[in-house]
Structure 1
Amino acid sequence: MQNSHSISRIAILISGSGSNLQAIIDHQKLHSDLYEIALVISNKADAYGLVRAQKANIPTMVIEHTHYNDRESFDAKLQQALEEAKIDFIVLAGFMRILTKGFTQHFLGKMINIHPSLLPKYTGLHTHQRALDSSDKEHGLSIHFVTPELDNGPVILQAVVKIDPNETETSLREKVHQQEHIAYPIVIEWFALGRLSFKDNQAWLDQKRLIQPQVLSKTII
């Protein structure tokens, strides 16, 4: 889908406030020669992320999942919107929908997600509380390619935060959010530069297979 002679067109899918979207918008302003945020799609009409996009003059679209009888018909509409916008790369930023196998296969290698845990630990929801309940010393985030199995695609980059003795779910979530806002734009930039790819069901960076994910504190940007 990507044209090497033009800047990458990315779409960002959201369901809520869009704090990661804002971090990406801010990054793109400094790297407008690399990629364009061509479309922001929300499955909820009241998502504040839509306001963030509109303030930045980014085209937005609402595709409410409640208007569709099943996941397949919703995903078909979503796929149609992305293809009509000639999107090169899809970024899930707090998009609270489980996508169908057909949709993820169609965009395999062209779609990433950010998950608030150090995968493979704590797939699914309530990751911060689960880390606290397990008395973990560390927690963090993972950015991964999206594959048909939930939260199981190859991990590209992780960021680690320490869990303090007096940590709460709220304080831990905030720590992870701060790292998300740094990490997500880095991975998008890697794709836009042609450094990041997906082949043989694995993540590759600079034409080397990532046997272990990159770690944010050690990343050479």
Structure 2
Amino acid sequence: MPAEAGDADPPSIRPSVPAGFEIVHVRADDPLRIAAVARLFTAYTDALGIDLAYQNYAAELAGLPGKYGPPDGALLLLVRNLRNAEEVDARVAEAAVGCVALRPLPDAVGSDGERRRRRRRRAEIKRLYVDPAARGHRLGRALFAAVLAEARSKGYDEVVLDTLAHMTEARRMYEREGFVRLDEPYYEVAGGGDVNGDVVGGPKQQQHPESTVFYQLNL
């Protein structure tokens, strides 16, 4: 069930998280963590150096957690372990060093051998980012393992993601996890919708960059 305002945080996810760090869920009623995620999202998009208007990014940032919220999505924040909860609350912006998100996509129609074609629940992994000052501790892998665990726990049949061709280290990580490269995009922007099929538009609407690479994993 979706978390309600005032509920306790879900348990922290700990899939091989390096000592000194933890991964926590971000809720809509937690403005400090929302602000920390927004800062990391902005650092991520600034590092990409491309215009994400085709993803309706401005609305996404303003409406966090949006479709990354429960029950079908997840917004995860990687934070340094501090001494106590009060210290974390007071220094969350400083403590937050990474993030990743998961959101639902329209179901795909899959084929299972000789069985009837069936609808497959599909989710998209977005905004995987670790602050450069915190890199070198396998934190990106810990975040990626955590978001895959989230997708499995929510009953998704497959996950997809996109990246840029020059992001070779990230692509190697995805391929080690069993992701396969897709020949075609799993979404289409030119028709006026974002990756969730929402209607967007305006003069800044554009197609994804030519260097975009698309991946998919069956869970």
> TM-score of the superposition, structure 1-length normalised?
0.27
Structure with the largest fraction of helix:
1
